[in-house]
A = this chain, B = another copy of it.
């Protein structure tokens, strides 16, 4: 489970992974997260690195920690929903930026996207 790319800080990559799990409801509102130590084992990184990712998520109010009980996903549905929308738009804008710089037209882009989705459904 060495899933990290070397060019981006690991704590940011962990943040992003957990954010995705929250907005896609793999982690539900109020659900308890694994402990810092367990996540560190799971991700094969130092507990401090997980701690850093989690405190950033706490800064965004996406998780709350009760000392000695554990950490829980926020129950603020509006916050989660608006974060999801924001993440979607950011991915879309970045993609269209990139693809335009590569001189790919709108029609070609759509074809590529459809093709990629098609390939995923077959496997």
Contact = CB atoms under 8 A, between A and B. Distances in A.
Interface of A: 7-9, 12, 20, 23-25, 84, 87-89, 91-93, 95-96, 98-104, 106, 109-110, 112-114, 116-117, 120
Given A96-B116, A116-B93, A102 B23 contact: yes
Contacts of A117: 96, 106, 109
A89 B98 CA distance: 11
Contact of A102 (B91, B110, B113): B91
Given A96-B113, A114-B110, A102 B7 contact: no
B116 A102 contact: no
Given A7-B8, A120-B96, A106 B102 contact: no
B84 A88 contact: no
Contacts of A9: 7
Contacts of A24: 101-103
A103 B27 CA distance: 13
Given A8-B8, A88-B112, A110-B110, A20 B96 contact: no
